[in-house]
Amino acid sequence: MNDTIKSYRYRYYVLLIVCFVFVSCGAGQRLAGLQADFERLYIAKLEFKDNHKNREAWSSLTDIETALKGVSLEARAAAEDKDFQIPTKIALLRLAMIAAWQGSETNEKYFDGIVDNGMNLCANPEIEKPPTRDCALFLIVPIVRDASLISESNAEELKKAFHGNNNILPARLEDKAVNYFGLLHAVLEDTLTIFFRSKLPVYLSKHSQLLDYYKDELLRYSKRIRKARVYATKVESGQGTKKAITDKDEAFAICAEGWVDTVGGTQPDAFPGNLKNAAEKCLKISGN
């Protein structure tokens, strides 16, 4: 699958997870209006990035992202309406989360607050049948967002230095290598923890489209981990050669990469029971 096809597939999935609003709760005019606003802005963001002829309607990408954050604020505020039923509130918070993500929201407390409120509502015992798609997204999107915030420019710098120095990373880049791998490690550890300790496997087993999205994101992310591990393993210092990551960290990365590959596979027995056990094994290697 070439990069163009992957890009359009990714865009399709983002729009798809927003359109789950109608399927999940069939809410009224307020929710429908906010969704329409999001879809319009999301398409405008894609057109602007692709240098589409319609991009002239916006002066900058920042303006579009600011408008998306505005939709997020409105959706979050609407979720406080006491007259709305819990599934409707969950759908509004899911929309608020997606809009904040696509609006490049940098306020972590704001973003985390949306996710926490959504998950608390998903756990409400008054709901006989919680909207599993929305509830799954409260678990998936924060991890995808965190992974996307890891700078690829750092990765490229490390890679070039590694290959340009006889596959040994210069000591001056040791801290950057440790930090970069640490960020990747943390996100993958969160992925395994959420899969192992939450209802995510159940949610995904009920929604094949969400499962496909989850698989694609993990496989994309796994490639970054594999590349990072290759050039973060050895570091040259004044006292000799030492590792930028420990043997334990490398063992965890290898285990986690295998787990991701299994998730992305097509084996009928790879989901979800044995994957929960495999996730637990990797977390034990990591010490959690």
Judge whether 211 and 218 are in contact, CB under 8 Å: no
pLDDT of 18 over the 60 cut: no
List strand residue ranges (DSSP E) for 114-272, in order: 234-237, 240-243
Angle at CA of residue 53, ends 52 and 58, nearest 5°: 85
pLDDT of 79 over the 80 cut: yes
Among candidate residues 112, 143, 174, the one where a domain is terminated: 143
pLDDT of 258 over the 50 cut: yes
Q: Above pLDDT 70, what percent of the chain?
A: 80
Count: domains in the chain: 2
pLDDT of 146 over the 70 cut: yes
Among candidate residues 143, 167, 186, the one where a domain is terminated: 143
Nearest one of 170, 201, 15, 23 to 102, comparing CA atoms: 15
Residue 75 shares a structural domain with residue 187:
no
Instruction: Give the mean pLDDT of 111-124.
Output: 95
Instruction: Give the mean pLDDT of 9-32.
Output: 57
- The residues, any chain, with a CB within 8 Å of residue 76's CB and separated by 6 or more, are 92, 93, 96, 114
Residue 82 shares a structural domain with residue 158:
no
Residue 233 shares a structural domain with residue 134:
no
Q: Tokens representing 193? A: 């923890």
Residue 43 shares a structural domain with residue 71:
yes
- When comparing pLDDT for 247 and 214, which is higher? 214
Angle at CA of residue 180, ends 101 and 12, nearest 5°: 30
Residue 128 shares a structural domain with residue 156:
no
Residue 8 shares a structural domain with residue 139:
yes
Radius of gyration of the chain from its Cα atoms, rounded to whole angstroms: 21
Judge whether 88 and 80 are in contact, CB under 8 Å: no
Residue 34 shares a structural domain with residue 132:
yes
Nearest one of 72, 144, 148, 149 to 110, comparing CA atoms: 72
Residue 16 shares a structural domain with residue 70:
yes
pTM for the structure as a whole: 0.82
- In the prediction, which pLDDT does 21 show? 39
Place 176 in a pLDDT band, splitting at 50, 70 and 90: confident
- In the prediction, which pLDDT does 73 show? 97
Residue 158 shares a structural domain with residue 118:
no
pLDDT, tens digit (0-9, with 9 covering 90-100), for 177-229: 778 878 888 888 999 999 999 999 888 888 888 888 888 888 887 777 776 66
How far is the C-alpha of 196 from the C-alpha of 210, rounded, in Å? 17
CA atoms within 13 A on the CB side of 82: 0
Place 92 in a pLDDT band, splitting at 50, 70 and 90: very high
pLDDT of 155 over the 70 cut: yes
Domain, as residue range, for 186: 150-286
Residue 7 shares a structural domain with residue 138:
yes
